[in-house]
Amino acid sequence: MSKPARTRNTLLNRLMNPKFIMVYATIVVFLLIYTIGALLYGDKGFTTLRTFLNLFIDNAYVGISAVGMTMVIITGGIDLSVGAVASLTGMFIAYGNTILGIDPFICIAFSILIGVALGLAMGAMIQYLKVPAFIATLTGMFFARGVCALISRESIAINHAAFNELAKWRIKIPDVKPLAYVNFNVLLFIVMILIGAYMLQATRFGRNVYAIGGNEQSASLMGLPVNRTKVLVYGFNGLCSVLAGVAYALYVKSGWNLSLQGAELDVISSAVIGGTLLTGGVGYMFGTLFGVLLKSVIPALITFNGTLLSWWAKIGTGVLLLLFIGIQRIVVSASARKKL
């Protein structure tokens, strides 16, 4: 040990911490791809604020869900039920309002109740019955999807004045053209990211989440409330899934039992691209924010190109995932080597 290495609490010093390396990698790759887009399609309007904000608008539901997913993955778990739960939320709102005539906001409250309960139940299954998270949440996914089909197998449009009002509500950004705005979904996404970041950084609950992901047995021996924390994380993720479902319902203004199939994988890959380690213990909300952006800038590029099939977006995402998991492996093994 050299001289006393006093912690210098300058902002720069804190930002230089090597633990943020994955987040920076995400930001750098995002800027890179964005720059490529700007060079290729700058004349078609790729660089406008509107295009940029559209990344948020079109992907807010993925981002909202990714907030909860990030937390789940940091504990070393996974949740495959998020797409189905979000879809179920859409069904509750659409069927409840259009067919049964219930106020959509009551439907949302009911969805939150069900979503959180389902999340807590899966968490309890994982923690107390020692069912692997993969299996427990897979059953949750089948359950939610089954209930969706039970409610209706047709797409139901939502037609409610206040709900439509909320869907249309937007804040215009002054003095830019073409017209640019953010809507309710974007605000919800940003608020959820901030709430998630606050929980992770500033509360004991959040730090316990990291501790569990680092070494669950140690966390328990250190006297941390491991069981409670893990179950609550899945409950919180249930809440995020429902809110993602609300955002999606506002986005498409309908509910359909087969909507959002495979969305869980978009959510998981957003978190992973944002630097969340699948083995647990590492991850940041702002990383996830950029993970969502990075994952959505590729389809935007493809749209601007106009001639490429949209499936190229999937291939691009696949390559990105591979790249980031590769970087993670290198970072992890490099830090393991350093210790020797």
Residues in contact with other proteins by the rule CB under 8 A: 1-7, 9, 17, 19, 201-204, 207-208, 210-211, 213-215, 217-219, 221-224, 281-282, 335, 338-339
Q: How far is the CB of 201 from other proteins (least distance, A)?
A: 8
State the number of CA atoms in the 13 A half-sphere of 325 facing the CB. Answer: 12
Q: How far is the CB of 19 from other proteins (least distance, A)?
A: 6
Nearer to other proteins, 140 or 281 (CB): 281
Nearer to other proteins, 22 or 64 (CB): 22
Nearer to other proteins, 1 or 309 (CB): 1
Nearer to other proteins, 224 or 243 (CB): 224
Nearer to other proteins, 187 or 225 (CB): 225
Nearest-angstrom CA–CA distance, 40 and 38:
6
Nearer to other proteins, 3 or 177 (CB): 3
Q: How far is the CB of 278 from other proteins (least distance, A)?
A: 14
Nearest-angstrom CA–CA distance, 133 and 72:
10
Nearest-angstrom CA–CA distance, 290 and 62:
12
Q: How far is the CB of 336 from other proteins (least distance, A)?
A: 8
* Long-range interactions of 31-35: CB distance < 8 A, separation 24+: 33/294, 33/297, 33/298, 33/301, 34/297
| 118, 140 contact by CB (below 8 A) | yes
Q: How far is the CB of 223 from other proteins (least distance, A)?
A: 4
Q: How far is the CB of 211 from other proteins (least distance, A)?
A: 5
Nearest-angstrom CA–CA distance, 230 and 228:
6
Tell me the residue length of the chain: 340
Q: Facing residues of 255 across strands?
A: 156
Residue 108 identity: I
